[in-house]
Chains A and B, each alone.
Chain A
Amino acid sequence: GNSVTQMEGPVTLSEEAFLTINCTYTATGYPSLFWYVQYPGEGLQLLLKATKADDKGSNKGFEATYRKETTSFHLEKGSVQVSDSAVYFCALSGEETSGSRLTFGEGTQLTVNP
């Protein structure tokens, strides 16, 4: 079945530091890939997405590139802000069920200190 694995443990950075959150996936065919963000006390929000290999999703300074050869979709940001503190979830929608269920990773808590 489909699965998503995110880097373990919370991430703590200082403001303006570079961020990478690793995400790898297992799926048949060509899934669509997503990053969702959950700010404290709020619902999940779509941050960015990519629907085919080599696509780059970007939003609010965050980027992620769909790498079919390494089955990865790592999230990056060049300079984080305190307001980026949140939980980040990598997710996929399988090719055979595109637009249906989302399969999520376990989430990565990001804390950015001033």
Chain B
Amino acid sequence: DTGVSQNPRHKITKRGQNVTFRCDPISEHNRLYWYRQTLGQGPEFLTYFQNEAQLEKSRLLSDRFSAERPKGSFSTLEIQRTEQGDSAMYLCASSLNRGYEQYFGPGTRLTVT
């Protein structure tokens, strides 16, 4: 078991461009979560999936953000028309199911110039 992996680890993009991040959870984990962490702050919840179903979205997830988990395995988070305020670390976590520990990936650091 290699843990939760995220790609890319770093992304620099210009304002207005679209970006997509990928998260590969621990195999057999049914739940997958996305969080955002800005400098000096704790992670903030964005959304989560139970298998392929997206069950909850934070109001932080504006219309420019979309997340998918098409086959209940890996997940992608897309940000359209990026803004400088989107610069942050995007964290993915997975858990076996409800009530189980969430295991975090190393994150993708996004810088919007």
The answer to the question of B91 belonging to the interface, with a C-beta cut-off of 8 Å to chain A, is yes
CB neighbors of B among A31-70 (8 A): 36, 42-46, 49
Does B25 reach chain A (CB closer than 8 Å)? Answer: no
Q: Are A101 and B98 in contact (CB under 8 A)?
A: no
User: B91 near A43 (CB under 8 angstroms)?
Assistant: yes
Cβ-based interface call for B72 (8 A): no
Chain A residues with CB under 8 Å of B21's CB are none
Which of chain A's residues have a CB closer than 8 A to the CB of B65? Answer: none
Q: Which of B12-20, B73-81, B102-110 contacts A (4 or more CB under 8 A)?
A: B102-110
Q: Is the CB of A107 within 8 A of B98?
A: no
* CB atoms of B91 and A101 under 8 A apart: no
Q: 0/1 per residue, B84-96, Cβ < 8 Å to A?
A: 0000000101010
CB pair A104–B43 under 8 Å, yes or no, is: yes
Besides the contacts A43-B105, A97-B56, what 15 more A-B pairs have beta carbons closer than 8 Å?
Answer: A4-B42, A42-B106, A45-B104, A46-B101, A46-B102, A49-B101, A98-B98, A99-B31, A101-B56, A101-B58, A102-B33, A102-B45, A103-B45, A104-B43, A107-B41
Q: What is the bound-complex CA distance between A98 and B101, given in angstroms?
A: 11
Q: Which 5 A-B pairs have the closest CB atoms?
A: A104-B42, A99-B98, A99-B99, A44-B104, A101-B45
Q: Is A106 an interface residue (CB 8 A)?
A: yes
Bin chain A's interface residue count. Answer: 20 to 34
Give the distance in Å from the alpha carbon of A49 to the alpha carbon of B101 in the complex: 9
Q: Contacts A43-B4, A43-B106, A44-B91 given: A99-B100 contact, CB under 8 Å?
A: yes
Q: Is the CB of B97 within 8 A of A99?
A: yes
Residues of B within 8 A of A107 (CB): 40-42
Using Cβ atoms and an 8 Å threshold, which residues of chain A touch B35?
102
Closest to A4 in B: B42
Residue of A nearest to B107 (CB): A43
Shortest CB-to-CB span from A32 to chain B, Å, is: 8
**Closest B residue, CB atoms, query A104:** B42
Instruction: A21 to B48: give the CA distance in the assembly, Å.
Output: 29
- Contact residues in A for B31 (Cβ distance below 8 Å): 99
